[in-house]
Amino acid sequence: MITNQPLPSTMKAVVLEAPRRLALRDIPIWPIEAYGDPDLVLVKVAACGVCGSDYRYYAGENPWAMHTLGRHVDNPPNIVLGHEFAGEIVAVLDEKNARLLGRRVAPVCSKVCGTCPECVSGQTQLCPNTVHLGHGQGWGKRDFYPGAYADYVPAWGSGCFAIPDGLTYGEAAMMDILAVCVHVADQGNVQPGRPVLMMGAGPAGNGIAQAVLNLGASRVVVTDIADAPLEAARRRGFDAVVDARGKSHRVLVEELSALAPEGFGSVFDSVGGRDSFELGLRLLGKKGTLVNMAVHDLDIPVNFLRLGSERRIATSSNFATGDYPWALSWLESGRFVVKDWLTEVRLEDVPRVFAEADGAGRRAFKLVIRF
């Protein structure tokens, strides 16, 4: 191991010991030399986003498996959550990665196998052999599963992107979600000149709404039922921001149809429930695409008349290899703006934030752990 500073033998980490049991612990620093991959590096974490999916892991779900494999997979005990992070590279294994030491980076949080049919066909977002930070996938059996709710985290040198000057660590930690937004937006067959509906305006919804405008949508209408996402959407100046709180299906159909009389060319659903699905399908225009980015184990009957005129339904929630540099170029050039998203929290406060179902942390638009 080649390092640019002395490293401690233990570190602080927030460990998901079992569903709904999150604890701040001192655990051994990640033994990257024992993992059998010379591309691994060690990153001193400067910022790590709290993702919506982290709350699902906390509750005992495994959304990665549901989205990527299309089935349930149990989580192992002792996961260190956290896959949206940025920091400084402080140790490498391979001489050819030595040039990365000391670099400020926003690392890709996963490594795909490169040899399965999905990887070979360029659909790396569906690789079943992905090794992933922040949940148990791909690490075999470990005492602790690596993630970035910790002072240090492993990453892959080949997936470490330098943070452009002018971007903070907090902004750079949003790269994972922005890469997802780019990929999901790209699955929506956004047609220049046609309006887009974004249901659910949390960070993913806000990012997708920004992405579809970058892709040439004529207008984007966003809906939500909570203050923070609605305020963030208004600040960003999206074409219409609809507060859906307390409104019936009929009222919402009327209100949203008035904003897109020909129907929406693309509808994105970050909620993934029955109500949002039925509403989205109802508002989808001819040849439109409805993208569900929050897959739940849920049966919903569909009247296929609603899918006439070449309407289609898709799901999407991971990014492919090429989406990350694409998103980074938009962040660097100001076509993605995330400055006003962030509320900072300390690592030691994270267990409390998760336990308080309706606390201030949960009401924030986007939490970022600062170290």
Query: Segment contacting Zn ion (CB under 5 A): 45-53, 68-76, 280-288, 352-360?
Result: 45-53
Helix axis angle for 203-214 and 227-236, nearest 10°, is: 20
Whole-Å CA distances, 147 to 12, 172, 273, 349:
12, 17, 29, 17
Name the residue nearer to Zn ion (CB basis): 202 or 288: 202
Q: Considering only residues 45, 79, 127, 327, which one is a binding residue for Zn ion as defined by CB under 5 A?
A: 127
Report residue 121 CA to chain centroid gap.
Answer: 23
The least CB distance from residue 130 to Zn ion, in Å, is 7
Cβ proximity to Zn ion, 81 vs 217, nearer residue = 81
Among residue numbers 343 through 362, which ones bind Zn ion (CB under 5 A)?
none
Residue 251: CB atoms within 10 Å? 11
Residue listed under structure tokens 């612990």: 25
Shortest Å distance, C-beta 50 to Zn ion? 9
Q: Say how many residues touch Zn ion, by CB under 5 A.
A: 8
Token representation of residue 141: 């059996």
**Is 57 or 330 the residue whose CB approaches Zn ion more closely?**
57
Interface with Zn ion includes 260 (CB under 5 A)? no
Q: Residue 85 CB, nearest distance to Zn ion (Å)?
A: 10
For the residues of 228-279, what is the DSSP string, one character each?
A: HHHHHHHHHT-SEEEE-TT--HHHHHHHHHHH-TT-EEEEEESS-SHHHHHH
Shortest gap between Cβ of 51 and Zn ion (angstroms)? 3
Residue 130 or 266: which CB sits closer to Zn ion? Answer: 130
User: Cα(241)–Cα(74) distance, rounded to whole angstroms?
Assistant: 38
**Binding marks (x or -) toward Zn ion, 104..123, rule CB under 5 A?**
--------xx--x--x----
- Judged by CB under 5 A, the residue of 14, 50, 51, 217 near Zn ion is 51
Instruction: Give the number of other Cβ atoms within 10 Å of residue 193's Cβ.
Output: 10
Which is closer to Zn ion, CB of 92 or CB of 109? 109
Specify whether the CB–CB gap between 233 and 201 falls below 8 A: yes
Instruction: Name which of 220, 217, 219 is nearest 192 in CA terms.
Output: 217
Smallest gap, in angstroms, from Cβ of residue 119 to Zn ion? Answer: 3
Min dist CB 370 to Zn ion, Å, is 18
In the complex with Zn ion, which residue's Cβ is closer, 49 or 280?
A: 49
Q: What angle do CA 116, 122, 125 make, to 5 degrees?
A: 80
Q: Which is nearer to Zn ion, 129 or 218 (CB)?
A: 129
CB of 123: closest distance to Zn ion in angstroms? 9
Q: What angle do CA 336, 170, 67 make, to 5 degrees?
A: 70
Site residues (vs Zn ion, CB under 5 A): 51, 53, 112-113, 116, 119, 127, 129
